[in-house]
Structures are given as structure tokens and as C-alpha cells.
Amino acid sequence: MTISMAFSHIIQPSLMQLQPRVFINFRGEEIRYGFISHLVAAFELHGIYFFIDKYEQKGKDLTHLFKRIEESKIALAIFSGKYAQSKWCLNELAKMKTLAEKNKLKVIPIFYKVKVDDVRHQKGEFGHNFWKLARTSSGEEIKQWKEALEFVSYKMGLTLCENRYSM
């Protein structure tokens, strides 16, 4: 850790919660204790301020999370097989798309053990989970989610497979 990074941790520890630079959007149960824990450790090591919804209650109003997205400079959309089981994830993604279209947020997709095409066109395990959730959702929600999935999936990002990655 450099002196400046150590100094920023000492002087500004509360800013990590107040002014995140990176918003991490992901489906918790599937990757929280593997990939996400490594990502968070790397961000902390390098003094990168981030927001992760670790302490949010399921079903709580998304207003707080939307505010955190708006405060961020970058959002990571980490797609996994079970990502589309979550209305929270998809609603956050729709918000991220809206801000990205206004050039207020950079969105970087990470495809974690899921194909880009499956996310873009709601196919495979990802698609199965998406359409299962869609059965209990409004037409407007489904439209926003599909548009956001397509928009973000066309951005340059990272694909992580079992033993390799690609850009």
C-alpha cells in the first residue's frame, strides 16, 4: 500500500460510504463469498471507494441504492447465472442504464460464468431465471430490464469463465 492510499484510508474512512466511486451490482448468494470477496479486497487494498449492498434488507425500498448509484462514477454489472432471479439487480441495472445514457455513469459488464449472448437475449440458465421472474412482473418492468440487459451487454467488459477470462 502506498503512503497516499494509507493516508486516504486514515483521513477519509467515512467517504467510502458517503461517496462511492464504484457501485457493485451483483446477485449475492451465488458469488458474494468467492469472486466478490476478492474484488472487494482488491478495491480496499488500492484505496478504491465502492458501494456494495451487503447490509441492505431484502424487499426494502430501492431509493437508497439508487442514490448510491447516482453518487458513483463507475458501476460494475456482474452477471451470473442467477443474476436474473433478482428484481433488485435488474432494477439497479435499469437505473444504471438511464445514467449511462446521460453520460453520468460508466457501466462495465462482467460476465461471470455466463455467456454474453445469454444475457443479451435472455437465454440459457440466465434466460430461464429471467423469464421465471418476468411471470410475476409488469410489462413495463420487463421492457426496462430487457433494454438495460441489451444496452449493458454491448459495452466493453470482461468475461470470466471457469479457468480463463477474455475482454
**Catalytic (active site) residue 71:** no
First to last CA, the chain: 27
**3 state SS of 107:** strand
Name the β-bridge partners of 77: 25, 109
Q: Choose, from 92, 125, 140, 150, the residue flagged as catalytic.
A: 92
Q: How many CB atoms lie within 10 A of CB 68?
A: 21
Bridge pairing between strands 50-51 and 74-79: unpaired
Q: Please, what's the b/e burial string for 118-150 (b: 16 or more CB within 10 A of its CB; e: otherwise)?
A: bbbbbeebbbebbeebbeeeeeebbebbbebbe
Q: CA-to-CA distance for 160 and 51, rounded, in angstroms?
A: 22
**Which residues have a catalytic role annotated?**
92
